[in-house]
Amino acid sequence: MAETPVPNQNQEQELFSKTVTSPTESKKPPKDLWVRIRNQLTWQSIHNEQIGHARDSYLRQPNYLSVVAERADLYLYYIVEEVERRGLPIEVALLPLVESTLNPFATSSERAAGLWQIMPATGKYLGLEQNWWYDGRRDLRDSTRIALDYLEALYAEFDNDWMLALAAYNSGKGRVGRARKANAKAGLPTDYWSLKLPRETRHYVPRLIALSQIVAFPEAFNVKIPPVPNKPAFIVAATGGQIELARAASLAEIELHSLRALNPGQLRWATSPDVAQELLLPVGTKAQFQLGVASLTEADRVRWEHYKIRSGDNLINIAKKFDTEVGLLREVNNIRGSMIRAGDTLMIPYGSDWASSLAMVTKQERQQQRYRVRRGDSLYRIAGKFNVSVNDIISWNSLNPGDYLQPGQRLTLYVSGG
């Protein structure tokens, strides 16, 4: 494929000197969310060699904006709304495109996760719920709230300088602070562009500004950005208590993968018992979902028995005692293998159609397949290869999302037939 043409130096100067239309000049809200963003951009006039290289890198990836736009249908409107509500630069709404290509299931090699790529320790420090059932770093609303809170705090701490705040978000405020002190001691400028920072952080801010330039002037770069509706993609629906995701999808009359895409923070076969009892659903599905939830009996719900393991017990006998399955006991108690200890307590769900939920199957028939982990594999890579979600693999194999895969490790997958 021929390389996408870019403006020469003179054209760049003319291009970046233009003023973007103010949102007040158009009374009617645009139908395309990109236009709404474009009308508020201000950083696209910043230009230097680092930004130019970052922009060229984007332009060499012809499918990047198509992939991002498809994901943006679900997530970007909400992020834009939150950024505007706080009065932050609209460029901040593009940060998840740089961080994760708008993929809430993305996990870095350093275990940063979600749209905003929040590290486990950072999430814990900022108050995000992270447990076996639920990871707030992957949840759209929780992660966006925490990320924006953190960015605002960094902005205030670093002299109301967004470039420094973003650098601190990427590499840590301690590192940016030390770099500024070193420059000040040497009599050098302490702005972002003058600091000695890690390679990743030196490229981080230029990538965001380069992306804002492409969004601001797509025609100039011969780029077509698929439109994204400038309207909400989801509604919030109360579940009335813990509920299996497969049952929730059925009540809303949507595919399970669609439900999981809107609720990536839910890690297991049922909603977490420890966070708000609600789910995000596609617009237009709330009425039938609420009718369905209202019709659920106690037997339809996930109910729990707490059983204290006795000497001589094993999973097979306990499963028979409670008319359930060993696989479910392993799943909900995060047990690997068959080892249990007397005195420990097992959580035992009953009264629900767990089997269809446990495998996280969609309405499409799936076939069980064994997969041996290879060197360099990640959950994200395996999920992409077999067209399943990361959370599906975690659920099917009772994995701890924080653990690394090991070469030779065997996974059970349920893949679409045909």
Catalytic residue set? 99
Q: Which of 256, 294, 297 lies closest to 391 in space, CA to CA?
A: 256
Report which of 317, 341, 342, 319 is spatially closest to residue 329, judged by C-alpha positions: 319
Four-residue CA torsion sign, 163, 167, 173, 174:
negative
Q: How is the chain split among helix, strand and coil, in percent rounded to 5?
A: 45, 10, 40
Q: Which residues contact 1 (CB under 8 A, 6 or more apart)?
A: 62
E strand segments, 143-275: 234-238
* 205, amino acid identity: V
How far apart, in whole angstroms, are the C-alpha atoms of residue 35 and residue 226?
A: 11
Q: How far apart are CA 242 and CA 298, in angstroms?
A: 11
Phi, psi of 174 (to 5 degrees): -65, -45
3-state class (DSSP) for residue 323 = coil
Q: Report phi then psi at 345, rounded to 5.
A: -110, 130
CB 264 within 8 A of CB 138: yes
User: Which structure tokens are listed for 283?
Assistant: 């617009």
d(CA 47, CA 12): 9
Nearest to 73 by CA among 101, 112, 33: 33
Q: Measured between alpha carbons, how far is 258 from 263 in angstroms, rounded to an integer?
A: 9
